Amino acid sequence: MIIAAPVLSVEYEGQIRLVGIFLFLPEQLGKSWDCRYEIDWPEGKVTSFAGGNDAIAALFGAIEKVGMELHMSRYHHERTITWLKPWVGYGFPLPKGARRTNR
């Protein structure tokens, strides 16, 4: 079951394309939990998951992984990806070790 489906925009081959992000309800697998997600890039869909000791940990891990995938994408580096203009960011937090620090 999809629990969140934000849509971002990217410039791809001279056109604006929509990028759907789909977060699924965490599922218990034995003693641990997995939370699947998909990112529907113009080049093709990426499917992955994050695991955790409970549903909250799995969901939080998936949210942070999506944040990392967005920030590591070519669209971020080319500055052609947007969420809500003029908002800066994509609505997904990064893990603590991946955040920029102002020193």
Domain count of the fold of the chain: 1
Residue 80 belongs to a domain: yes
- The whole-angstrom distance between residue 28's C-alpha and the CA centroid of its chain comes to 21
Distance CA 99, CA 55 (A): 24
Please state the pTM of the whole predicted model. Answer: 0.89
Residue 63 belongs to a domain: yes
pLDDT, tens digit (0-9, with 9 covering 90-100), for 19-52: 999 999 999 999 999 999 999 999 999 999 999 9
Task: Judge whether 63 and 39 are in contact, CB under 8 Å.
Answer: no
Residue 99 belongs to a domain: no
Torsions phi, psi for 61 (to 5 deg): -65, -40
pLDDT, tens digit (0-9, with 9 covering 90-100), for 69-83: 999 999 999 999 999
Instruction: Give the structural domain span for 59.
Output: 2-91
